[in-house]
Amino acid sequence: MKVAIVVVALVVLLVACAATLFGIALVRSSRAHLRSESSLPYPSAVPASWAGSHDPEARLHRRLRDAMRAVISADAGAAQIDGRVRLMIAAEEIDRRLVAVHALPADRKAQPLAQVEGWITVIEQAATELASDPSASLPLDSAVGRLSGPDGPAASAPRAPGGPAEIG
């Protein structure tokens, strides 16, 4: 009888240890995944609540993040450094726009979100073209040209309602 109690106690202890080790491994994996998810080549002020959110702004931010990762990871030459840097600057401004659009009332978000989505599409197209031909600088130059124009993200950043440059 005593042997059975000792065996059961050892089994319970082993299960508890295994569950603890599994929990520790899961926490470490989650933290590593979170760090990799938030790794952008520029500082981002997006709210933590956007992680896994289905809000349009959060989804657009994830699309932008993924496109910029593709641009950065493409095996490109030194001739493309300027284009990449300018694209990163534009992406940072687009991220700022997303945060500003998020602060707008729901009835005023449609037009700014459509504009931001167009800019993100430009970056995604450049990333796709760059992945298919890493030596070509045309995709980056074309994207930077489209994003640098008067309708680009740096033209005028939106402000929260009541701000001096409110989106209209």
Burial of 55 (0-12, 13-18, 19+ CB in 10 A): middle
User: Per-domain residue ranges for the chain?
Assistant: 48-148
pLDDT at residue number 35 = 55
Distance CA 51, CA 103 (A): 17
If you average pLDDT over every residue of the chain, what do you get? 77
What pLDDT score does 158 carry?
A: 46
Burial track 97-134 (b if 16+ CB lie within 10 A, e otherwise)? bbbbbbebeeeebeebbebbeebbebbbebbebbeeee
Give the pLDDT band (50/70/90) at residue 82.
confident
**Which residue shows structure tokens 């401004």?**
93
Can you tell me the distance from the alpha carbon of 135 to that of 30, in angstroms, rounded to the nearest whole number? Answer: 36
What percentage of the chain has pLDDT greater than the value 90?
A: 18
Rounded CA gap, 101 and 38, in Å?
Answer: 20
Q: Are 91 and 64 in contact (CB under 8 A)?
A: yes
Three-state DSSP class for 159? strand
Residue, of 82 and 23, whose pLDDT is higher: 23
- Expressed in percent and rounded to 5, the helix, strand and coil fractions of the chain are 70, 0, 30
Question: What pLDDT score was predicted for residue 166?
Answer: 38
Token match 């202890």: residue?
Answer: 13
pLDDT band at 164 (very low <50, low <70, confident <90, very high): very low
> pLDDT, tens digit, for every residue of 13-62?
999 988 898 888 877 776 665 555 555 666 777 888 888 889 999 999 99
Residue-level pLDDT at 145: 73
Cα(134)–Cα(1) distance, integer angstroms: 72
pLDDT band of 85, cuts 50, 70, 90: confident
pLDDT of 56? 92
Read off the pLDDT of each residue in 88-92 and give the average, rounded to a whole number: 86
Q: What is the pLDDT of residues 104-127, one digit of tens each?
A: 999 999 999 999 999 899 888 888
